[in-house]
């Protein structure tokens, strides 16, 4: 009964409806942008929107193959043979590339695949494309997966990473669980989703705005005296307020998630959900499919939401007005947006990766790990633990804050 009324209190406010409407529109716009801006090319020029998406889907579907060493060797050989014919090759003063039909017929449909293969053989942090493939020695065939392993070793041992042996072992163990050979295919929808999680920060903030008055709104409106002097004002009502806030927060955020995930998946398709993450970046250590990664990251984002609701309620219980609550929350959420990591180790970077905004970015290929004594956690696990613990700490403080609130003029 109390939960129902507390939920109604949140829902009935005009400000709730306005904030939610604006936030849903912003989310729809942000996640719809990759659809509106999508464009691909064929020999006749640019194809945009759904036509372009369908074209790319058709082209990539032709290369939904298992990436065995034999297949990869053959794919590289084809590119090398094309480069052997001077009529097909252009040069812009910096690099060689294939031109006209040689490019449009043989490279364009599988450029992403060829780029991924080329990058696998390149040094870490080196940006290369299909035109680096002619430099590879394939006389004895290629060992794509050994090259991947070597690249990962280089990454782990790079002095700039400053990883401990424990951390290296942790990542090596994780890597060893990645299935080989990779299955390639179309995964554009999932790529958009995984690279856009941070845009949900606005939805997180919108939820915080709506629940900021849960306690402080009572102080501001002057209803605190009446409810706190009622039998359950300091006990069951506090619990009901917390439950109603979470109920609203989870439902409102889920509505945003449905839009955020629904739009790209509706436009780009569900295809690719069962493909390994490594076809987007071969050095990703997580043995996950796109769907698994998206779900795990979504779970982390829900835990961030949970902690932010906890923090909002805590501030709301302690502060006299919802506006004061938001003056604290806004910097917590948005200042990290302007801070860039300068590596993957060190207190600054490791802290930055844990802050709410950064925690919405999966950082799949960045080998971010946290070591406590002999125990190592990856970014997903560390964030999940941190935000779960923060929630558990902040809720009792919020409860006590409201219970101990002093009604004064």
Partner 1 sequence: MELQLQHLSKHYGTKYAVHDVSTTLSPGVYGLLGANGAGKTTLMRMLCGVLAPTFGRICLDGQSIEKLGEDYYAHLGYMPQDFGFYPDFTAREFMRYMAAVKGLDKKEVKDRTEELLKLVNLHHVADKKIKFFSGGMKQRLGIAQAELNSPDILILDEPTAGLDPKERVRFRNLISDFAKEKIVILSTHIVSDVSYIADTILMMKDGTFLLQEPMAAVTDCIRGKVWELLVSDREAAEYSSRFSVVNLHHENGKVRLRMIHETIPAADAITVQPSLEDLFLYYFGEEAGTERSESGYVSKI
* For helices 213-221 and 379-403, angle between their N-to-C axes, nearest 10 degrees: 20
For residue 218, the surrounding DSSP H or E stretch is helix 213-221
Q: Is 2 in the site for partner 1 (CB under 8 A)?
A: yes
Tokens of 328: 């604290």
Q: Is 243 in the site for partner 1 (CB under 8 A)?
A: no
Task: Count Cβ neighbours within 10 Å for each residue of 300-322 and write b for 16 or more, e otherwise.
Answer: bbbbbbbbbbbbbbbbbbbbeeb
Least Å from the CB of residue 211 to partner 1: 16
Q: Is 5 in the site for partner 1 (CB under 8 A)?
A: yes
User: Which 173-232 positions form the footprint of partner 1 (CB under 8 A)?
Assistant: 221-232
d(CA 394, CA 405): 16
What 3-state class would DSSP assign to 43? coil
Least Å from the CB of residue 223 to partner 1: 5
Least Å from the CB of residue 5 to partner 1: 4
Q: Is 128 in the site for partner 1 (CB under 8 A)?
A: no
Q: Toward partner 1, which CB reaches closer, 12 or 94? A: 12
Burial class (CB in 10 A: 0-12, 13-18, 19+), 328: middle
Q: Is 101 in the site for partner 1 (CB under 8 A)?
A: no
Q: Which of 22, 25, 295, 407 binds partner 1 (CB under 8 A)?
A: 407
Q: Going by C-beta distance under 8 Å and a sequence separation of 6 or more, which residues neighbour residue 387?
A: 300, 303, 304, 306, 307, 359
According to DSSP, residue 229 is labeled T
d(CA 157, CA 149): 12
Q: Is 21 in the site for partner 1 (CB under 8 A)?
A: no
Q: Toward partner 1, which CB reaches closer, 226 or 385? A: 226
Residues that contact partner 1, how many (by CB under 8 A): 30
Binding segment (CB under 8 A) for partner 1, from list 53-61, 277-285, 388-396, 401-409: 401-409
Q: Is 408 in the site for partner 1 (CB under 8 A)?
A: yes
Residues near partner 1, by CB under 8 A? 1-2, 5, 8-9, 12-14, 221-237, 405-409
């Amino acid at each position: 009964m109390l939960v129902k009324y507390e939920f109604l209190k949140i829902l009935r406010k005009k400000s709730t409806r306005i904030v939610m409407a604006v936030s849903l529109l912003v989310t729809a716009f942000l996640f719809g942008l990759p659809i509106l801006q999508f464009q691909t090319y064929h020999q006749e020029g640019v194809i945009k929107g759904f036509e372009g998406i369908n074209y790319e889907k058709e082209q990539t579907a032709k290369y939904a193959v298992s990436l065995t060493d034999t297949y990869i060797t053959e794919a590289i050989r084809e590119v090398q043979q094309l480069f052997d014919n001077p009529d097909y090759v252009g040069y812009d003063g910096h690099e060689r590339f294939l031109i006209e039909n040689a490019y449009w017929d043989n490279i364009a449909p599988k450029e992403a695949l060829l780029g991924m293969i080329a990058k696998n053989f390149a040094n870490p942090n080196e940006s290369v494309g299909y035109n680096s493939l002619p430099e590879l020695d394939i006389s004895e065939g290629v060992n794509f997966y050994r090259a991947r392993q070597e690249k990962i070793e280089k990454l782990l041992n790079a002095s700039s990473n400053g990883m401990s042996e424990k951390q290296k072992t942790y990542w090596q163990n994780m890597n060893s669980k990645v299935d080989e050979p990779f299955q390639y295919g179309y995964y554009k929808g999932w790529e958009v989703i995984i690279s856009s999680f941070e845009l949900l920060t606005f939805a997180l903030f919108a939820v915080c705005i709506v629940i900021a008055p849960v306690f402080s709104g009572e102080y501001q409106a002057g209803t605190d005296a009446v409810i706190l002097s009622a039998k359950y004002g300091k006990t069951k009502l506090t619990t009901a307020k917390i439950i109603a806030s979470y109920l609203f927060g989870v439902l409102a955020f889920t509505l945003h998630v449905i839009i955020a995930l629904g739009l790209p998946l509706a436009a780009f398709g569900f295809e690719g959900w069962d493909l390994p993450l490594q076809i987007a970046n071969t050095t990703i250590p997580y043995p996950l499919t796109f769907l698994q990664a998206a779900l795990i990251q979504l779970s982390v984002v829900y835990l961030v939401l949970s902690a932010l609701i906890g923090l909002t309620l805590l501030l709301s219980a302690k502060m006299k007005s919802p506006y004061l609550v938001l003056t604290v929350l806004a910097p917590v959420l948005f200042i990290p947006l302007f801070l860039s990591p300068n590596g993957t180790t060190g207190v600054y970077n490791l802290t930055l990766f844990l802050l709410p905004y950064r925690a919405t970015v999966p950082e799949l290929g960045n080998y971010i790990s946290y070591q406590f004594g002999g125990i190592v956690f990856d970014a997903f696990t560390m964030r999940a633990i941190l935000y779960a613990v923060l929630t558990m700490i902040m809720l009792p403080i919020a409860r006590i804050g409201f219970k101990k609130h002093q009604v004064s003029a």
